[in-house]
A and B are shown apart, each in its own frame.
Chain A
Amino acid sequence: MDYTSQNQNDKKQMLETIGINDTYELFNVIPSHLRAKDLNISCGKTEQELLNYFSKIASKNKKLVSFRGAGIYDHFSPSLISEIIGRSEFWTAYTPYQAEASQGTLQAIFEYQSLICTLTGLDISNASLYDGATAVAEAALLALRVSGKNKILISSALHPDYIQTVKTYLENSKTKIELIPLSEKGNIEKNIAETFIDEDTATVIIQSPNYFGIVEDMDVLSSLAKSKNSLFADVVNPLSLGIFKAPGEYNADIAVGEGQVLGSPMSAGGTTFGFMVVRKGLEWKMPGRIVGQTIDKDGKRGFVLTLQSREQHIRREKATSNICTNASLNALAACVFLSGWGNEGFYNLSQINISKARYAFEKIKSLDGFKAKFDKRIFFNEFVIETSKDIKKINKILLKNNILGPLDLSTAGDSFGKCLLFCVTEQRTETEIDNLVEFLAKA
């Protein structure tokens, strides 16, 4: 199968029009010693064969009841999302450069930007970035660009993949990257951060809830950043903003994060999308596509890609970023997701995540051999438990019973040697949680 549609007669006519006898003549310009041998890839399959073949491969994956998060979360996806992102008018469209022929995508992104702005309480959102990790890296670059400073300060409780991505992005620059160590209470303390921040700090990047689930006191950390004229960039879980303080409320300059929780499946970690939203004044320094509202010749409202002179296709080597692709379809899913809850419903969704995680936390920490690593802390849907039992054995038993157990944190540093990162979302039922607790008790 190759999806071409020309028959022999068409081909003959086309060759005649060109004035050649064989398609191969069109490749005469390629030096003959460079010509490829036949590709060693098995011959093509029919649609039916493909379905069988890939169903078999799919069966080598195990769909599990997940108590694991760490950046990707199992959340409920309303039926409307698959219906809308499944519309071929959306998924087979190109980037909306020809605005008049792309009003659907453009308005949807404009709505997405509006929803992200109201959710975070900040002024200007772009049309989305690749994922949470790259969004943090872009935030760091934005801050370096705006401030002309040379150092960035990052919470050590930022997702380790994100920290690594920032380091990779800045590998070939002269930027100094410093990590603020975690306090014994599992959060970033102002008095520790204070000893790292200086006048050359372009930005302070804090994740909340942090990698260990704990909600940070962002007011205090934001003020600290401001006191040194550093931009405050936060990495937030957008679902938590139904309850927890919004970036706009603690004067963040930049908010970024992973958007998967807003209606994208886990898909082994991709595709997802990153969001970025900034306070007014930073829009011309922002990376990525942005949609704006305008009017057409007849005065009708319409939407276009705007502030484009920031971007690579115009400014080339002087662009704010090399980014071109966004994650439009995932942003569309987020738009559909955010538009159907209403304020109360969204608050409720946030609250259920907290309640279920709290329910599991209380039960697990009172088991013999398990205790809370950071007690009396506020968390969203993740928490750390320390155990005297064999972590590998626990997860093996759970896996056998189709449960994806907590993440083994032993690689997160010496103090986490016997620690587990649990995640409970609104998807987990009381029965599933009780079931998990029973397995742990027996382990």
Chain B
Amino acid sequence: MNIPQDLLYTKTHEWVKVEENKVKIGITDFAQHEITDVVHVELPEVGRGIKKEQPAAVVESVKSAFDIYAPVSGKIVEVNDKVLGSPELVNSSPYENGYLFVIEVSDEKELNDLLKADDYKNLI
């Protein structure tokens, strides 16, 4: 299972990449494997405000649908349109081309609550 060291994680299997005051978010390799073949993704509206742990996106397989939660509070500033047309990217490239959305962080302290790679590894 691929768990990059330079990312932060949540208990609900989102990964978080901090880029200045923004964070890029996707689901982990573990999560995409559990979900199996992703067939559809629903993304939030750009510009929408969101609170930590609120559902922000939905990742769906043939037989299931999973809510993806915002790891931190802030504003959605970018979404990855590519996964709408090619949902398989979430499976083939969970940490790169298959990312889901970007949040502009409103409270940087919330980042401290996220898991480090080793903690996440222990969790799964």
A and B touch in the complex (CB under 8 A): yes
Using CB atoms and an 8 Å cutoff, list the residues of chain A in contact with chain B: 284, 307-309, 314-315, 318
Q: Is the CB of B65 within 8 A of A314?
A: yes
Alpha-carbon gap, A308 to B40, bound state (A): 11
Tell me the bound Cα distance from A308 to B60 in angstroms. Answer: 9
Chain A residues in 8 Å Cβ range of B61: 309
Q: Tell me if B109 is interfacial: C-beta within 8 Å of chain A.
A: no
Cβ-defined contact, A308 with B42, below 8 A:
no
Q: Is B1 an interface residue (CB 8 A)?
A: no
Interface status of B105 (Cβ within 8 A of chain A): no
In the complex, what's the smallest C-beta–C-beta distance from B83 to chain A, in angstroms? 14
* B interface residues, how many (CB within 8 angstroms): 10
B65 touches A307 (CB 8 A): no
B89, CB-defined interface residue at 8 Å: no
Q: Taking the complex as formed, is B124 at the interface, i.e. its CB lies under 8 A from any CB of chain A? A: no
Q: Once bound together, how far apart are the Cα atoms of A94 and B31, in whole Å?
A: 34
Known: A308-B62, A315-B65. 7 other contacts (CB 8 A): A308-B63, A309-B39, A309-B40, A309-B62, A309-B64, A314-B64, A318-B65
CA distance A89 to B39 in the complex (A): 32
Secondary structure at chain B's binding surface: helix, strand, loop or mixed?
strand
Q: Determine how close the nearest CB of chain B comes to the CB of A51; give it in whole angstroms.
A: 45
A-B contact pairs, 19 of them (CB 8 A): A284-B40, A284-B42, A307-B40, A308-B62, A308-B63, A309-B39, A309-B40, A309-B60, A309-B61, A309-B62, A309-B63, A309-B64, A309-B65, A314-B63, A314-B64, A314-B65, A315-B65, A318-B65, A318-B67
Assembly CA distance A284 to B43 (angstroms): 13
Most chain A beta-carbon neighbours within 10 Å: one of B42, B62, B63: B62
Query: Would you call the interface of chain A mostly helix, strand, loop, or mixed?
Result: helix
A residues near B60, Cβ cutoff 8 Å: 309
Chain A residues in 8 Å Cβ range of B64: 309, 314
CB neighbours of A314 from chain B (8 A):
63-65
Residues of A within 8 A of B65 (CB): 309, 314-315, 318
Sorted from nearest, which 10 A-B pairs have the closest CB atoms? A309-B60, A309-B65, A315-B65, A314-B64, A314-B65, A314-B63, A284-B40, A309-B40, A308-B62, A309-B64
B41 → A minimal CB distance (Å): 10
- In Å, the complex CA distance between A318 and B68 comes to 14
Q: Give the complex CA separation of A350 and B61 in angstroms.
A: 43
With both beta carbons as reference points, the residue of chain A lying nearest to B67 in the complex is identified as: A318
Complex CA distance for A284 and B60, rounded to whole angstroms:
11
Contacts of B42 in A (CB 8 A): 284
| A280 → B minimal CB distance (Å) | 13
Instruction: Give the Cβ gap from A95 to chain B, nearest Cβ, in Å.
Output: 15
Complex: A15 Cα to B67 Cα, angstroms: 48
**Roughly how many angstroms separate A307 CA and B64 CA in the complex, as a whole number?**
10
Which of chain A's residues have a CB closer than 8 A to the CB of B40?
284, 307, 309
Which chain B residue has the least Cβ–Cβ distance from A315? Answer: B65
Report the Cα distance A275→B40, complex, angstroms. Answer: 25
Least CB distance, A100 to chain B, in whole angstroms: 15
Residue of A nearest to B59 (CB): A309
**Residue on B nearest A316 in the bound complex, by CB:** B65
Give, as a whole number of angstroms, the nearest-CB distance from B87 to chain A: 11
Distance A318 CA – B63 CA, assembled complex (angstroms): 14
Q: In the complex, which residue of chain A has the Cβ closest to the Cβ of B60?
A: A309
Per-residue interface assignment for chain B, residues 50 to 78, with 1 indicating a CB less than 8 Å from any chain A CB and 0 otherwise: 00000000001111110100000000000
- Minimum CB–CB distance for A241 against chain B, Å: 31
Q: Distance in Å from the Cβ of B51 to the closest Cβ of chain A?
A: 18
A195 CB, nearest partner CB in chain B, Å: 30
C-alpha gap A315/B60 in the complex (Å): 10
Which chain B residues lie closer than 8 Å to A309 at the CB level? 39-40, 60-65
Q: Inside 8 A of A284's CB, which chain B residues have their CB?
A: 40, 42
Q: How far is the CA of A284 from the CA of B62 in the complex (A)?
A: 13
Complexed CA–CA distance, A314 and B66 (Å): 10
